[in-house]
Amino acid sequence: MSKWNVILSSPIHHAGTDALDGQATWCLLPDLTDETVLGAVREADGMIVRAFGYFGPQLMDAGSRLKVIGRHGVGVDNVDIEAATERGIWVVNTPEANAEAVAEHVIGSMLAFARRLVVADAATRTGDWSLRDRDYGFEVIGKTLGIVGVGRIGARVAQIAVLGLNMGVVYSDVIDRADLERDLGARRVTLDELLERSDVITAHTPATPQTIRMFNADAFARMKNTALFINASRGPVVDEAAIIDALRSGQIGGACLDVFEEEPLATDSPLMELPNVILSPHKAGQSDTSMRNMSLVSLDILRILNGEEPQYPVNSPVNPR
């Protein structure tokens, strides 16, 4: 008989549930309404959550047996870490699981925009072959890529850009990355200098009080009017009204956006109508490999339930349940 009860907020790869089988029973929530989540957590020892839904004090208080919340992914902005720590609840995540997927999405988005692949596909389907003579796009070789935040994902983006595409890289971060400077010729600069110098700017920052809406009207005003802005980090780091204005006015050349202030993105959002934007539904981190890797947060769930140390702790409760 299984010892533990684990609930899943959303579907995960079978590798994660296979790991639970035999040690825990698990169930998938039918929806993320407060009533459903609060009802289920009362009997839960552990939870695996994804990007949607908010998991805060009310839920943690309802789950008196709850020992651990596992974030299927990297960002934990939808889990109240302080509240969990105060209540003796571990929070774990999968910080290495999807770096390659996100980095490849960013580079792919950049190339798709530069080579006009989305508009070319649409034009071809409608017989508009004249597009080839009026919308050339551009080559990225020799261009400057500005990376805001060079953790695992930002560093991998830099590596692909330099070694694969012969781009120059500047970066802005709270830490020096001597390895990137030595191996890739990257240069650490101030954020303002990065915004002013870069041909392509990509954001790789968590959503914190310091980074919320850091890409605002002033930031877009500092960019080149040909600049491409890419965000596959967190929606709230961008002032959505400001980027819409910048795209409409030609203040910047374009954007590739995978995340938004409110998700799903409203169908009447002005972003839906802008021709100089490529949109995707918060899927940069999803590939067949990364989905398997992220699902294995279940292993840390089991480690904690069995009284062992987790591999990827986000917090460290003084008095764990």
Q: Which of 13, 234, 240, 303 is catalytic?
A: 234
Which residue's entry shows tokens 């992220």? 294
Task: Give the DSSP H or E segment for 217.
Answer: helix 217-222
Three-class DSSP labels, 151-187: CHHHHHHHHHHHHHHCCEEEEECCCCCHHHHHHHCCE
- CA 159 – CA 177 distance, rounded (Å): 13
- CA 140 – CA 164 distance, rounded (Å): 11
282 has catalytic annotation = yes
Q: How big is the chain, counted in residues?
A: 321
- Asked if 33 and 53 touch (Cβ cutoff 8 Å), the reply is no
82 has catalytic annotation = no
Q: Which of 82, 263, 308, 309 is catalytic?
A: 263
302: left (phi over 0), alpha (psi -120 to 50) or beta: alpha
234 has catalytic annotation = yes
Q: Which of 71, 87, 156, 282 is catalytic?
A: 282
* 24 C-beta neighbours (distance < 10 Å), count: 20
- Asked if 175 and 147 touch (Cβ cutoff 8 Å), the reply is no
Spell out the residues 6+ positions from residue 69 whose beta carbon is closer than 8 angstroms to its own: 46, 47, 49, 55, 79, 84, 89, 90, 91, 92
Which residue's entry shows tokens 């040690």? 23
**Residues that are catalytic:** 234, 263, 282
